[in-house]
Chains A and B, each alone.
Chain A
Amino acid sequence: MKLLKSNITRPFLSIVLTICTHSLIGSFTHHAQAQFKPHYVNMTELGGLFGRVVYDIPWSNPPVSEVENRVNLTIQTFNGVQLKPRLAVGATVGVDWYNTALLMPLAAGARYDLARSKKNVTLFGSLDAGYSVNWLHTDGTGYNTRGGMMLNPGLGLKIGLKSGSALTLSLTYKRQDAQVTKPLGWGEIEKWEDRTYNRMALRMGVMF
């Protein structure tokens, strides 16, 4: 258990454990099998994209690489229809503030309830897939940043409130492609950067 000593992982793990315990031990109940009607559902979340980058120091000889950790802010809102008691489908729009790119994912999304505890805590799976656009981004002179494909699968918890709304907590993996063409230096003919952001997204939000 020494691995758990890290400050970040410990509170997170305890949350995951609590949820897993609740959802697996607690028995799943269907509240509204008979009278279920499809209805509008919204899930708005705010969180961080956690990751790191390993890169070569330019012109270092012998090659030297360096590592930096990265955290970026992400917000997103899922709007859709609760089609079945467990399944909601819709569209997800968000904004991700990467250090040198401000991307706006436009995606198709789904939320599926996996298990529910007696205390009205639900474990759900989520999947968003789409394309990020650069509409909000501004480039420096000579740079041209374009968005790319986005994939965001993961798990989350809904903590039901008496009002019928819920607080959410989710842990997902987010993959985002982007490309940047760069200003040319002396003797250069073409220069561009292909980016793939691989991040762990930890988000909190509300659902109603």
Chain B
Amino acid sequence: MKKILLFSLLAVLFFQTSCTDQCTETRKFKRFTPVTVGLADIRQGIKTEQARELINPGKIYIKGNYLLINEIKQGLHVVDNTNPAAPRLVSFIKIPGNGDMAVRGNILYADSYTDLVALNITDPTAIREVGREKEVFLNGQFDGAGWSLNTSTGVINDQNMEIVTETIKTDCENNGSGGVWPRGWFFAADNRAMAQSAAPSTSGPNQGQAGSMARFALYDNYLYTVSQSDLQLFDIRTPESPRRGNKINLGWGIETIFPYRDKLFIGSNTGMFIYDNRNPEKPERLSVFQHAFACDPVVVHENRAYVTLRSGTMCNRGQNQLDVVDITDLRAPKLLKTYQMQNPHGLGVDFPHLYVCEGKHGLKSFDAKSDFDLKQLQHLTGMDAYDVIPLSNKSLLMIGKDGLYQFDTSNPAKLQQISKIPVKRVEI
């Protein structure tokens, strides 16, 4: 009898001690560590090098038969795309602290941390620096890591970004680490993750085409650049030597600029500024659209704006959606309809077709003829889709974490992959 008693007691104790819920939350996030870069290093660093593999590509830019692919903070890959079926990496332009670019004629304008440089790209294998405007950008960010110029010591205070995986034991109730960023500060905004989508640009005859998340835009005799707080104009009547022009303060948190016809759409994380650009030297503010979507990719066609929102950014509201906005009256934009998405990043419009990058969920093409009834035509999976630029010759450029893809869009319901330049990268 005592044995039974003992056995039962042990059994109960065993049940009691082993009955503990085991819950772990794993999160991958970006961690930033400070580094210092001297101005002299930056200014002597520009050179043309052998073509190299894509590792951490940023924005893309198209000029004629050439593609420029930004390697974040490193420089630009020059790609000969004469035959889209076999794009060829021609060379690599090393530009320290580069993230944006714009091309007119044979002159490439690029940022190099605090400086704006003008490069002659007539021969893509021997690119020369022809002009430089010093210390025009006082701060900026790459990959979500901010940098700033310290004018008294003449150095750039930058941050390196790494991906960290962390696991904690949770209470099994969805609480976990929450969406709080405990150790960061306002510097660490998710810029590139928000980055890039394509809009039809006001391409002049001789001008390249950028994504809608570009911070550089060419219009008339001016190069428009946005820093985190200002719209800075450069007079490029003499293309080789850009001259600093007007500076317009826009408030904090400016993300993007994209020109559409004679309007400038400037995205900040508090709202979307719409500027009338009929006098290119002095853009005039029409309205500030205080809708929550402002820091997300936007593309415009005629009187419609298409906007995506997704979770995981600084402007995170947990939504993953596509908004169709009526901008007939630029002073009073109206939200027409919202469509649920998976994790939309960049988007591009080639009316009536709309292309939406869904991050790791792939690429989607839509028929956007009806604002209230967007029809999904195709969903390509098995690739990472980050940013698209639809081109007028019925092709589509798409960059993702695994490569730069080109598609034939003659039939938007059946995209044909023409080529792929792979990205050599482990994580992000």
Contact = CB atoms under 8 A, between A and B. Distances in A.
Contacts of A68: 171
Interface stretch (B106-114, B180-188, B363-371): B180-188
A130 to B, nearest CB: 19
Interface in B167-198: 168-182, 184, 188, 190
B49 interface: no
A50 B19 contact: yes
B163 interface: yes
Contact of A193 (B174, B180, B311): B174
A20 B4 contact: yes
Nearest to B189: A186
B130 interface: no
B104 to A, nearest CB: 36
Interface residues of A, number: 52
B21 A186 contact: no
B25 A191 contact: yes
B151 interface: no
A88 B174 CA distance: 39
Interface in A12-48: 12-13, 16-17, 20-21, 24
Contacts of A140: 174
Given A55-B23, A56-B169, A171 B9 contact: no
Contacts of A54: 20, 169
A138 interface: no
Interface stretch (A78-86, A102-110, A114-122, A197-205): A197-205
A65 B1 CA distance: 41
Given A16-B12, A183-B311, A53 B172 contact: yes
Interface band, chain B: 35 or more
Nearest to A17: B8
A99 B15 contact: no
Nearest to B1: A21
A182 B26 CA distance: 10
B216 to A, nearest CB: 25
A197 B21 contact: yes
B23 A188 contact: no
Given A143-B174, A193-B174, A183 B318 contact: yes
A14 B29 CA distance: 53
Interface in A171-208: 171, 173, 180, 182-200
Contacts of B174: 100, 140, 143, 180, 182, 193
Interface in B5-21: 5, 8-9, 11-13, 15-16, 18-21
Contacts of A20: 4, 8
Given A140-B174, A141-B318, A193 B18 contact: no
A189 B28 contact: yes
Given A186-B181, A186-B316, A189-B428, A195 B172 contact: yes
A21 B172 CA distance: 39
B168 A52 contact: no
6 closest A-B pairs by CB: A185-B179, A184-B312, A51-B19, A191-B27, A55-B171, A142-B318
Given A13-B12, A53-B20, A196-B23, 4 more contacts: A16-B11, A58-B175, A193-B23, A198-B21
20 contacts: A3-B9, A13-B12, A16-B11, A17-B8, A50-B19, A53-B21, A53-B172, A58-B180, A100-B172, A141-B319, A173-B19, A183-B312, A184-B179, A186-B179, A187-B30, A187-B184, A187-B190, A188-B28, A191-B26, A194-B24
Interface of B: 1, 4-5, 8-9, 11-13, 15-16, 18-30, 144, 163, 168-182, 184, 188, 190, 311-314, 316, 318-319, 428
Interface of A: 3-4, 9, 12-13, 16-17, 20-21, 24, 50-56, 58-59, 65-66, 68, 70, 98-100, 140-143, 171, 173, 180, 182-200
